[in-house]
Structure 1
Amino acid sequence: MFHYTVTTDQTVDHTVQALSEVLQDEGFGVLWDFDVKDTLKGKGIDYNRNYRILEVCNPQAAKEALTLNHMVGYFLPCKVVIYEENGETQVGMPKPTVLMDMIGDESLNEFAADIEKRMASCMDKVSRNS
């Protein structure tokens, strides 16, 4: 599977806030919070699902990854989606291990696995605290 997703019973807004705090504790920051529903509404397009896309970055990890292989930049910053589905809030990300595998550079495997583990741990904390 190309993604890692967890479920919480908290609202999308609460989950975005909680995840932002947990990510910060792990050295990641939210660079951008794209509220799809509000953005489309502002353009006159009706989209009823609460859907947020966070762009997340750990500056030190980004430097390390880009030093290993500059092609990593195609996948930076990391994306996390938070949305409503069937009365629950889903929190998901594309797996860094899958993305880095597309580059075909085995020196990225350990690095990607570490980032994936750290980000998944943050997502797990948010889902357990629901």
Structure 2
Amino acid sequence: MFTGRYGFGVDLDRPFDEVLPKVQEALKEQGFGVLTTIDVKETLKQKLGHDMERYVILGACNPPLAHRALETEREVGLLLPCNVVVREVDGKTRVEIADPKAMLGIVGNPALDELANEARARLERALRALEAA
């Protein structure tokens, strides 16, 4: 698992078409449903005629965590859902997740810290499950 400035993820030596549904399964096992799927490659091809590697953004939501966050601070909806990127990189498939601690950290409300830690722990477990599969 790797960590970046505002996200974390894994590189998998498996094809994109195999990994994408497994990401959704791993998220589901941790209580996250996929609310949105944005096919960035297809969108840029249609709108701009631009070709790029396969790149999908999943909007993942854990309803109990989202509810708790919204009850704490209504404006936090601007930072929901959790974004998960699945993309091709050098013949591998990379799965990257926006770090809930980084995202909710910009709010500056300590009441959201525990929730962000819980969300991150669940998302890290999903990535570990992908690595082990």
TM-score normalised over the length of structure 1: 0.92
1:59 to 60, 63, 66: 63
Q: Any unmatched runs of 5+ in structure 1?
A: none
Aligned to 1:12: 16
Letter paired with 2:55: Y
Could you report, residue by residue, the CA deviation over 1:40-76 in whole angstroms, capped at 9, with x for unpaired residues? 2223512221101000011121111100111211110
Q: Is the 8 A contact 1:8 1:89 kept in 2?
A: yes
CA RMSD of aligned residues (A): 1.3
What is the CA–CA distance in structure 2 between the aligned matches of 1:53 and 1:103, rounded to whole Å?
23
Deviation at 1:95, TM superposition (A): 0.6
Name the SS for the 1:21 alignment partner: helix
Aligned to 2:53: 49
What is the CA–CA distance in structure 1 between the aligned matches of 2:107 and 2:26, rounded to whole Å?
29
Q: Any unmatched runs of 5+ in structure 2?
A: none
Give the aligned length.
129
Q: Is the 8 A contact 2:30 2:125 kept in 1?
A: no
Could you report, residue by residue, the CA deviation over 1:68-89 in whole angstroms, capped at 9, with x for unpaired residues? 1112111101100011112211
Letter paired with 2:96: G
Aligned to 1:30: 34
Q: Is the 8 A contact 1:55 1:79 kept in 2?
A: yes
Which runs of structure 1 show a deviation greater than 3 angstroms over 4 or more consecutive aligned residues?
none
1:98 to 77, 95, 102: 102
Deviation at 1:102, TM superposition (A): 0.6
Matched, 1:80 2:84: yes
Deviation at 1:38, TM superposition (A): 1.6
TM-score normalised over the length of structure 2: 0.90
Identity of aligned residues (%): 33
Q: Is the 8 A contact 1:79 1:93 kept in 2?
A: yes
